[in-house]
Structure 1
């Protein structure tokens, strides 16, 4: 089974934009939203390279055929 994203899209955007607007450090903002600094850093990289859509929680194939 796949894992569901723990932080929704809007909060990810809010967190990244707080950082980009110099509201706090990566560590302080990551702590505020309950994620690791490495995860938060990846959000920032994705946001800067691919835009807001890169922060959307991805859906995975939840349907499996009976045929093996």
Structure 2
């Protein structure tokens, strides 16, 4: 019943629809194809951090050079 992962823009669309009073958590979550608890968490995150919360990268990638420098700095005390 549930869709695959929604884009940040889609999440924001459904949150703003909820904030305009166009439906309940349950009805908008159903429209979005997600569990109502997940939708509620999206709204909480949006309220706490704004729409940018959905665009942040969660995994930082470091270059080999940066890693080698960090190891060298750590080992040299």
For the aligned pair, the TM-score class normalised by the smaller chain equals 0.7 to 0.9
User: RMSD between aligned alpha carbons?
Assistant: 2.2
TM-score (norm 2): 0.67
Task: Could you list the structure 1 runs, at least 4 aligned residues long, displaced by more than 4 angstroms after superposition.
Answer: none
Q: Greater share of helix residues, 1 or 2? A: 2
Higher relative contact order (CA 8 A, sep 6+): 1
**If the length of structure 1 is used for normalisation, what is the TM-score?**
0.75
Alignment size in residue pairs: 60
Unaligned runs of 5+ in 2: 65-77
